[in-house]
Structure 1
Amino acid sequence: MTTPRTREVGRFFSLADAAEILAVDVSMVDALVRSGELPAIRVGSSGPYRIERTQLDLWIEGQYRQSEVDTAWNEGEFANVAELSGANQRHLRAVD
């Protein structure tokens, strides 16, 4: 009996690999890369883009954090404005 072979994951993903991981179209990943939102490198001057695995992981974590902030903001009365704005509370002062 043979076991299914799992594909080795290298350091870099193609746009298609990243799209598969994110369960989106390749054009969505391409747009994220071209806008600079998702860091990537280009192989050669006009070669294909490659996304480093750690960069994709960091981008995904950032999306989770943004989702948490958006959820808290939408809860309104429970939102801590200083926390949501990223302000350091030590530098805030009371308003008269």
Structure 2
Amino acid sequence: MTPRFLELADVAEELNISPRQAYALVRTGELPAIQIGGRGQWRVETTILEEYIQRKYAETREMVRGRPSADAEQDQL
């Protein structure tokens, strides 16, 4: 059974980034998370992480569409 919530270390592993980078995503609000427990441990819901990943794919597609292709750049040289 897949857990509903992930620790930031798990998020970092899933995204192949450092735990510090995962923390920064949460602190800036780019990746929604909740704090739980007396020590305020951050947790990210698995569905939210998947939505974040899909959003980043969409942003990347839009960025690539807005750029000229490598072939077009070569033709201009």
Task: State the TM-score, normalizing by the size of structure 2.
Answer: 0.83
Larger RCO, structure (CA 8 Å, separation 6 or more): 2
Structure number having the greater strand percentage: 2
The letter for the 2-side match of 1:64 is: Y
Which shifted more, 8-17 or 52-61?
8-17
Question: How far apart in 1 are the matches of 2:22 and 2:38?
Answer: 20
* Percent of paired sites with the same residue: 38
Alignment match, 2:65: 72
The letter for the 2-side match of 1:23 is: N
Alignment match, 1:59: 52
Q: Does 1:20 align with 2:13?
A: yes
1:37-48 superposed matches below 5 A: 37-44=30-37, 46-48=39-41
Give the paired residue count. 69
Alignment match, 1:9: 2
Task: State the TM-score, normalizing by the size of structure 1.
Answer: 0.67
Question: How far apart in 2 are the matches of 1:45 and 1:67?
Answer: 38
Structure number having the greater helix percentage: 2
Which structure would you say has the larger Rg? 1
Alignment match, 2:74: none
| Structure 1: 4+ residue segments shifted above 6 A | none
